[in-house]
Amino acid sequence: MEKKNTKKIVSPPVGLAIFAILGPSIVWCSEYIGSGEVIIATRTGAILGTGILWAVIIGVLLKFWIGMSGAHYTVCTGEGMIDMFGRIPGPRNWPVWIILVAQFVSGAIGMSGVASASAIFVSQLTHIDMRICGLIIVGFAVLITWSGKFEWLKYIMSIFVFLVILGVFNVVVQVFPGIQQFVSGLIPSVPVVPDWAIALDEPENPWKLILPLIGWGAGGFASQVFYTYWIIGAGYGLTEKDVYGKPADLDRLKNLTLEEAGTLKKWTKIVHLDALIAVVLGTGITIGFVMAGAGILGPLQIAPKGNQVAFQLTHIFSSNWGQTGALLFLLGGTAALVSTLIGQMAGWPRLVSDAFRLCFPKAVKNIEWKWQFRITLLLFLITNSFIVYILGKEPVFLLTISSILDGVVLTAFQAILILVGLYYVMPKMFTVDVYKVIKPTSIVFIILIITFIVFAYFSIFQVPRLFFN
């Protein structure tokens, strides 16, 4: 018999003490910062310049509301986003079936893209064959995720990532185009792909460059789900710290007191602040990489891609600091990419395992959650190793496909599911008085509608043109 969630809801700290418990947002950022910023943002900035800064704002800000809204639900119910989707009205678990298939494919492609990019950086450093580096990196990420021993690695990698971010912003200060040009880049417009980029076989359709940037902004569908896992890992609100794969205790929710509801309301404010940190960091860092690409690589007519992506990206630092700068960028880029891969390895198997648990409850009934997760992790080890070995020399291609599927098409689907979850599913889980206390504000409803419309437009009108024009 499943153990009920009888956790006492402890009040969160107040004042400056709040900053001592913030942290899921940092994990959220570290999970999506590597590939989206180091490669996609820099490359897009190099080709299209600062005129596409608006795409960063759309990508990060709109998805921020999805991630924050999912975390709001998790804090109040104790369960993750996939369990919420399992409660959507209609045929049993119909959204989860779609998610199970789409996310296994997206996870295999996305993580392979990050692993391939990491391998190219490591190969540039060691001169070992890129495919061998890729297989070693995939195995290393799986081993670390299997063990759950992240702390020492996190500290080492954070140092290199911080140095790269610091260096990029130093470059931005030097190449800043001026207030007027910067502000004009925040106004939506579609720049023309320059002739030099077309001569390098870059697409003439600028949306083929813009949509991946939007898709990687704040990560994709999976990253928003991961954020609810990091909230559970921190033990916020009604969640049980580090207890995954467990649905909400509906009896517990129906018997919440108004006092407990007030405490949960305080926790939702903590989540909002934590998520705000992620959006500020994500927006600032992504804009920094776009501007570095526009200021350094664009004038050199370099569009990083293929197995030369690491070498071409080093021009950002070597232009100012020579070979030492190039080495620093390679080390920092490797750290950012491997950190992203480990974050994805910790998140994607949880997501797929959650979906599998809901779709095939009898198959996993007697399997401990830890082993459900590890079995899925091994499946990704096989798929990622295969894709890295076959397509590892084209990380930009893999990252682009993943960003379109996971960060654009599925984001529209996710926005509407979250909307139904917060305003139809969640009210049925609590008494009327309790829900009035913990319900999201009307601004959340409005922005989720806007998010759905924006990403549905991209999915219906722009994505098909990428493949059929």
pLDDT tens for each residue of 32-69: 666 667 889 999 999 999 999 999 999 999 999 999 99
Characterize 407-439 residue by residue with b for buried, 16 or more Cβ atoms within 10 angstroms of its Cβ, and e for exposed: bbbbbbbbbbbbbbbbeebbeebbbeebbebbb
pLDDT at 23: 78
> Residue 263 has what pLDDT?
97
pTM summary value: 0.93
- How far lies 116's CA from each of 16, 127, 397, 455, in Å? 41, 15, 10, 28
Locate the domains of the chain by residue range. Answer: 15-468
- Joined tokens for residue 407: 């960060």
Residue listed under structure tokens 């990532």: 161
Of 167, 119, 154, nearest to 139 by C-alpha is 119
Residues in the chain, pLDDT under 70: 1-7, 31-36, 150-158, 160, 469
CATH 1.10.1740.10 is the classification of domain 15-468: no
The answer to whether 237 and 264 have CB atoms below 8 angstroms apart is yes
> Which pLDDT score, from 0 to 100, does residue 296 have?
94
pLDDT one-digit tens code per residue, 224-265: 999 999 999 989 999 999 899 999 999 999 999 999 999 999
